Amino acid sequence: MQVVSSLNQLDSILNGYKGQKRSIGFVPTMGALHKGHISLVSCSNCDNDVTVVSIFVNPTQFNDKKDLQNYPRTLEADLKLLDEHEVDIVFTPTESEMYPSPDSRVFEFGKLDKTMEGAHRPGHFNGVAQIVSKLLEAVKPDSAYFGEKDFQQLAIIKQLVRQQKLPVRIIPCPIIREPDGLAMSSRNVLLLPNQRKEATLISKTLFESLNLAKKLSTTELKTWVVDNINKSAELKVEYFEIVDDTELLPISSWNEPKEKVGCIAVKVGNIRLIDNIRYNL
């Protein structure tokens, strides 16, 4: 496994592989790796000759400075894990490598970034688009792997790739959960023991809502989900929306012939967790 920090080094290694017509899979991450990230790596390893993972805590996507400061950083353990999972190249750039000058690009995603995460985290998706476009430009992979855990992010990246006509396949990967159902997240390690225990109510409620969806309207179900989670003194729902899986427009009836996804964000103390679930009625 080669670990490189400069775009030039990355380019010269990748040129070697591309000269040999090897296919390249790419997994962008912010580090503090867990089994969710590793599932993306495994998908990439299956599909490609070479897997590149980037580790970069991208400042432009953090609308909350404290969240950026507190974001877990575990580079040594991350590298060990990636080596064990047969990653070929790890790209660990510095901030000045990725942003030699401020990135003033403003992306236009129509309605996609106006709801849910976009509405609650102003500028977040613009920062995501900035870094993902730079990384895709640097790696030029055949395929790039993203988790469905960040459902809205995935929709936005697909749109970015369409808009910019980038020659890359975007491969969605399913949510990986802890044994008790909590969606794996780098931020989970920041939860205090009691918060961690209570946080299981998020996925439990989403799973229960699958059954209730047969009896309740979308509006009733939304109210039930929010109330059920807010029963815990540790949890505060920011939003729960049921949307279609491509345009992310709100669904008002189960009869709408669209793939439906319930997306949620919950504050657990100062930590913000997201999750989602598909309703296949």
- 129 lies in the site for ligand AMP, by CB under 6 A: no
Amino acid at 42: S
- 60 lies in the site for ligand AMP, by CB under 6 A: no
- 45 lies in the site for ligand AMP, by CB under 6 A: no
> Whole-number minimum distance, CB 95 to ligand AMP, in Å?
16
Q: Which of 159, 103, 166 is nearest to 136 (CA)?
A: 166
- 175 lies in the site for ligand AMP, by CB under 6 A: yes
Coil, strand or helix at 83: helix
Q: What distances in angstroms separate CA 31 from CA 80, 89, 184, 224, one per listed residue?
A: 12, 14, 13, 35
- 138 lies in the site for ligand AMP, by CB under 6 A: no
> Whole-number minimum distance, CB 128 to ligand AMP, in Å?
9
- 184 lies in the site for ligand AMP, by CB under 6 A: yes
- CA-CA distance, 55 to 24, in Å (whole number)? 17
Nearest residue to the partner ligand AMP, using Cβ: 147
Q: Tally Cβ neighbours within 10 Å of residue 71.
A: 17
Length of the chain in residues, anyone?
281
Q: 74-85 burial by CB neighbour count: b if 16+ within 10 A, else e?
A: beeebbebbeeb
Judged by CB under 6 A, the number of residues near ligand AMP is: 17
DSSP 93: -
> Whole-number minimum distance, CB 58 to ligand AMP, in Å?
8
> Whole-number minimum distance, CB 227 to ligand AMP, in Å?
26
User: Can you spell out the DSSP letters for 199-258?
Assistant: THHHHHHHHHHHHHTTTS-HHHHHHHHHHHHHTSTTEEEEEEEEEETTT-PBP--TTSSS
- CA-CA distance, 103 to 60, in Å (whole number)? 9
Which residue among the candidates 34, 37, 120, 124 is catalytic per the annotation?
A: 37
**Smaller CB distance to ligand AMP: residue 40 or 243?**
40
- 265 lies in the site for ligand AMP, by CB under 6 A: no
- 136 lies in the site for ligand AMP, by CB under 6 A: no
**37: annotated active-site residue:** yes
Structure tokens at 86: 């047969």
Which residue of 113, 142, 150, 198 would you call a contact of ligand AMP, by CB under 6 A?
Answer: 150
**Smaller CB distance to ligand AMP: residue 168 or 216?**
168
Q: Which of 192, 160, 188 is nearest to 275 (CA)?
A: 188
By CB under 6 A, the residues from 12 to 31 that bind ligand AMP are 29-30
**Smaller CB distance to ligand AMP: residue 39 or 218?**
39
Q: Return residues touching ligand AMP (CB under 6 A).
A: 29-30, 36-37, 39-40, 146-147, 149-150, 173, 175-176, 183-186
Catalytic residues: 37
